[in-house]
Amino acid sequence: MAKEIKTIGVLTSGGDAPGMNAAIRAVVRTAIARGVKVKGIKKGYQGLLNEEISDMEARHVSDMIQLGGTVLGTARCMEFMTPEGQQKGADICREYGIDGIVVIGGDGTYRGAQKLSALGINTIAIPGTIDLDIACTDYTIGFDTAVNTAMQAIDKVKDTSASHERCSIIEVMGRDAGYIALWCGIANGAEDILIPEKYDYNEQSIINSIINNRRRGKTHHLIINAEGIGHSTSMAKRIEAATGIETRATILGYMQRGGTPTAKDRYFASIMGAYAVDIMLAGKTNRTVGYRHGEFVDYDIDEALQMKKEIDPYQYEVSSLLSI
């Protein structure tokens, strides 16, 4: 029989993402509405091991749905990667009367959740990452804000770059995943989109297309480069040397991860936060919330981590079709 859940914990872990606060708020308020106590755990698994744990009431999450970052803080915790660290985390949960934890983060955070579940702490994960790289879900909290932030910044760079008839390389976040680059590439009308999943490292073909485009009268060439490809500054130098066209690199960096969350991120975070609490109270553990084919759903975390996410070939093809 499922154990009765009287107290839950909530933490954010890994890279922060806009909308995490909306998710925390939803977890806290849903739990309280269902008669369950909530404890906030600061700085992810590190804060759990450091016992940075305090009671959260409904008023503690007032006026924060619009804030970027995470009020609980986040961290990367090496100690929690070890069996001893994980056992210590589970023991601390028991000591504080925490029957289950809602964790908000990316796939690393999910792996931590698996370990806690295996040690008897009911754990539910919520996908919170700007990278959109969790395979079991069509949506991850923070992506919409990040992509809009990047798109607006790229529009601005494009204005000045086009005025000077330059080529611009703009590097967006995504160490292993090219979703921000793909979306910005389409939304900003880029000529080239370089993403870890697809780029063949054929710089000469980019150089050829810049030269051909210039001959055909195009005055500006925009390349969106995902962080995972990197080397934007040296690439700009090589392109300038090969084409004779002034080329500048702009690395957008961490500004993409901050800022006030969009309505979409707040909405998804709110529903996912509530959903996480409700499936936990229904007795589930080692599950992740997801959004698939228009519905909020949940998956076993072991299965979720086995799933592969691939860039849709049609969407990728369209990105190059539209760049002529």
What does the alpha-carbon distance between residue 193 and residue 183 come to, in Å, rounded to a whole number? 9
Q: How many residues bind ligand ADP (CB under 6 A)?
A: 17
Could you say whether residue 76 binds ligand ADP (CB under 6 A)? yes
Asked whether position 257 contacts ligand F6P by CB under 6 A, the answer is yes
Q: Which of residues 15-44 bind ligand F6P (CB under 6 A)?
A: 15
Going from the C-alpha of 263 to that of each of 141, 142, 144, 221, the distances in angstroms are: 11, 11, 9, 32
Q: Return d(Cα 255, Cα 15) in angstroms, integer.
A: 13
**Two tokens, residue 258:** 């901050």
Return the DSSP state at 76: -
Counted residue by residue, the chain has a size of: 324
Total number of residues binding ligand F6P (CB under 6 A)?
9
Q: If binding is defined by CB under 6 A, does position 34 make contact with ligand ADP?
A: no
Q: Figure out which of the listed residues 77, 101, 222, 249 binds ligand ADP, where binding follows CB under 6 A.
A: 77
Site residues for ligand F6P, window 131-150 (CB under 6 A)?
131
Is residue 9 a contact residue for ligand F6P (CB under 6 A)?
A: no
Indicate the residue among 73 and 174 with the shorter CB distance to ligand F6P: 174
Known catalytic residue at 300: no
Q: Give the residue among 299, 311, 314 at the shortest CA–CA distance from 136.
A: 299
User: Minimum CB separation from ligand F6P for residue 228, in Å?
Assistant: 7
Q: Going residue by residue from 129 to 168, which x/- string records binding to ligand ADP, judged by CB under 6 A?
A: x---------------------------------------
- Interaction residues for ligand ADP, span 91-130 (CB under 6 A): 105-109, 111-112, 115, 129
**Judged by CB under 6 A, does residue 130 bind ligand F6P?**
yes
CA distance linking residue 9 with residue 33, whole number of Å: 15
Residue 128 CA neighbour count, 13 Å, CB half: 36
Q: How far is the CB of 129 from ligand F6P (least distance, A)?
A: 5
Bridge partners, residue 193, by sequence? 224
Give Cα 8 distance to the centre of its chain: 24
Q: Binding to ligand ADP by residue 288, rule CB under 6 A? A: no
Both tokens of 191, joined, read 């000529």
Residue 77 in the binding site for ligand F6P (CB under 6 A) = no
Alpha-helical segments (H) within the chain = 20-33, 44-49, 83-95, 107-118, 143-163, 179-187, 203-215, 232-243, 263-281, 301-306, 313-321
Kindly state the smallest distance separating residue 30's Cβ from ligand F6P, in Å: 25
User: Exactly one of 107, 131, 133, 192 is catalytic; which is it?
Assistant: 131
Instruction: With contacts defined by CB under 6 A, name the span among 57-65, 86-94, 124-132, 202-210 that binds ligand F6P.
Output: 124-132
Catalogue the active-site residues.
Answer: 131
